Structure 1
Amino acid sequence: MTIRGARRTDTKLSDGRDLIYYDPADAAVRVPLEDTRGLPAPKPQVDLRIDPLTGDTITYATHRNTRTYLPPADQCPLCASKPGNPTEIPDHDYNVAVFENRFPSFAGPGRAEVVCFTSDHDQSFTNLSQGQARLVVETWADRTAELSARPDVEHVFPFENRGREIGVTLSHPHGQIYAYPFLPPRMRTLLDRAREHQTVAGSNLFADILATERRQGTRVIAENSTWTAFVPEAARWPVEVHLYPHRQVADISELSGPERDDFTQLYLDVLRRLDGLYGDPLPYIAAWHQAPVRVDRELGYLHLEVLSIRRAADKIKYLAGSESGMGAFISDTRPEDVAETLRKVGS
């Protein structure tokens, strides 16, 4: 199947889970190899409960406690299969691959997927070529559109965790997509603020934030014709960068071809600046903020938030008493100083 900017090939793993390959649009038609592992059908144990104090949905996925944890490189389940080492991806090579998580956080209502950015175990998103990173963007767009069409999904959240300090359990370059069967707390908070702003100011909160950052310029790191990257005025994390398109769109699937090109260029630039901050790969979380699938969609504004808990070359920001107990963040770094440093890193 050919989608915009990519060729998609659907197949199944031996336990019935979906596996999807994404190749360049001009690539040869892929004939997927069979998964010979003979895995039993997955039986995830997922329980959703509402916290009566906050209204937040808490997910209990006890089967995940047995998931694969930091295996040696020659036993990585996200690498392409080799003789004697069958993996989650039966083919001997791939560009981008997506499969249902074997240890999902959501099952039944909702869905959890793994997105492998490349078959090269020793790569990172930072060092992907422009074309390979652009293929990942096409993958995110296609998965967002398909998952958003499911009746049991309320919000689609693509993200990447990088670095052991963040809690990564597989070192292969990959991300995940959570298709939540509910609206997550962070999104509920943002939309509440956006609704208040719309009532008072008559305009979109996110668009106004972007306009302010571009006008002031003191926290802008880099920009191109359709995207701007900046450190937010009230950043919570020691290193935090937001990437906004100049045009309000609800999700990745609504981006035009040129906007996807420009995002890829700017994101790779930002990631390289982050890795240059302390002279080694920065642990980070990259979190896509997309509009909800159904409710308040007009209030949303697609953007990507990249954050790191490293507050100095040899120090980590831990969420201690104030942050964990009261949700009141106290930062060791000033947003304007972080922005200036990141601008210099790329100069």
Structure 2
Amino acid sequence: MELRYNPLLDDWTMVASNRKKRPNMPKTDCPFCPGSGKVPDVYDVLKYDNDFPALMPEPPEPDPVGSDLYRTEKAVGKCEVILYSPSHTATLPELPVDHIEKLVDLWTERFVQLEKDSRHEYVLIFENRGEEVGVTMPHPHGQIYAYSRMPLKIRMELSNCKKHHERTGSCLICDMNQEEQEFKERVIVENDHFLAYIPFFTDYPYGLFIASKSHRTALSDFSRGEKRALADILKRMTGAMDTLFDRPFPYMMVLHQRPVTGEDVEDYYHFHIEFYPPLRERDKIKYYASSEMGAWAACNPHAVEETAPQLREAYRRWLEREGVDAS
């Protein structure tokens, strides 16, 4: 277990050979179910330290294979599993808003706790859902990684938000929200505090963003009303995704928040959630091919002005099925 420096990208690769030992899709003895001995017999949502972490508070020394060019570092950090429910088959849209609000509270609590460690530079909260994105444990859960090195994508996003602010005096994501609200066609739904849309540039046909309407940088900035509104829009949007093709909708969901050390980014960075759903049709995957992986030259097979109305219609159907108030 170690970090290996990539001089071509000025980035670090995690090497975690221990993760080969992860269990694969248990059908009966799930460690996250009450009665397993691994978790409490009663819980709503739960933080569980990952049994097969890629990052550790006290990791071993790196293998002696590095050099001045190929640097290595200890894989310092933390990997946590966040259990969404004691029910083995529950999904996020099936949970009541009150329950999802408890999940948002737990995310917030862990973010606040992990940012206290000065060795952490960034705390990433995320969920992988579905076999199509490599999920090995079917019990509903997400994860949190606390990195000792700023991930490259976050670094690039922060840099471009800062440049936009220096050039215009405004927040890039605030401006994106305004542009999407004015254009309307890519917006799926909004509530008092959050806006859900498939942005103009996304490389996934259904690459949803959920952004806070107010300029907030992290979960810990939110009021009680904003946390509940986040829980509500998460339920609605994941429900719409499941309704789109009438099947459980695989996705990668990532919460983008401010760094926990370093420069103050309050003026120019903005909380948002990005979804990377691999389906382009009911049974067809949007794969990342050579151009996309080798050159980061993203190619979306559908214009989002085509897919956003489809997701809006799926949301309307989900409302009808659930008998949920559209407001």
Question: TM above 0.5, one fold?
Answer: yes
Q: Are 1:152 and 2:119 an aligned pair?
A: yes
Which amino acid in structure 2 is aligned with residue 88 of structure 1?
Answer: K
Of the candidates 130, 145, 152, which is equivalent to residue 163 of structure 1? 130
Task: Indicate if the aligned counterparts of 1:158 and 1:176 stay in contact, CA closer than 8 A.
Answer: yes
1:94-150: CA deviations, max 9, x gaps? 111112111011013210000000000011111101111110000001101110111
Show the counterpart of 1:300: 269
Give the match's secondary structure for 2:208: strand
Task: Indicate if the aligned counterparts of 1:161 and 1:175 stay in contact, CA closer than 8 A.
Answer: yes
1:183-234: CA deviations, max 9, x gaps? 1111011011111111211111111111111122111000011111000100
Q: Are 1:212 and 2:179 an aligned pair?
A: yes
Show the counterpart of 1:270: 237
Give the match's secondary structure for 2:207: strand
Alignment length, in residue pairs? 296
Task: Indicate if the aligned counterparts of 1:76 and 1:87 stay in contact, CA closer than 8 A.
Answer: no
Matches within 5 A, 1:1-347: 46-72=1-27, 74-81=28-35, 86-89=36-39, 91-108=40-57, 109-296=76-263, 297-298=265-266, 299-347=268-316
1:289 shift after superposition: 0.3
Quote the Cα distance in structure 2 between the aligned partners of 1:196 and 1:300. 11
1:57-108: CA deviations, max 9, x gaps? 1110111111111111x21111112xxxx3421x222111112111011013
RMSD after superposition: 1.1
Show the counterpart of 1:8: none
Runs of at least 5 residues in structure 2 that lack an aligned partner in the other structure: 58-75, 317-327
Quote the Cα distance in structure 1 between the aligned partners of 2:109 and 2:269. 19
Give the match's secondary structure for 1:75: coil
Give the match's secondary structure for 1:240: coil
Which amino acid in structure 1 is aligned with residue 297 of structure 2?
Answer: A
Q: Which has the higher contact order (CA 8 A, sep 6+)?
A: 2
Which amino acid in structure 2 is aligned with residue 274 of structure 1?
Answer: M
Give the match's secondary structure for 1:136: helix
Which amino acid in structure 1 is aligned with residue 132 of structure 2?
Answer: E
Give the match's secondary structure for 2:104: helix
Quote the Cα distance in structure 1 between the aligned partners of 2:78 and 2:298. 31
Which amino acid in structure 1 is aligned with residue 271 of structure 2?
Answer: L
1:294 shift after superposition: 2.0
Quote the Cα distance in structure 2 between the aligned partners of 1:130 and 1:238. 27
Task: Indicate if the aligned counterparts of 2:118 and 2:261 stay in contact, CA closer than 8 A.
Answer: no
1:307 shift after superposition: 2.0
Show the counterpart of 1:31: none
1:346 shift after superposition: 2.0
Q: TM-score, normalised by structure 1?
A: 0.83
Give the match's secondary structure for 1:239: coil
Which amino acid in structure 1 is aligned with residue 89 of structure 2?
Answer: D
Which amino acid in structure 1 is aligned with residue 32 of structure 2?
Answer: L
Runs of at least 5 residues in structure 1 that lack an aligned partner in the other structure: 1-45
Task: Indicate if the aligned counterparts of 1:153 and 1:182 stay in contact, CA closer than 8 A.
Answer: yes
1:48 shift after superposition: 0.6
Between stretches 178-187 and 168-177, larger displacement belongs to 178-187
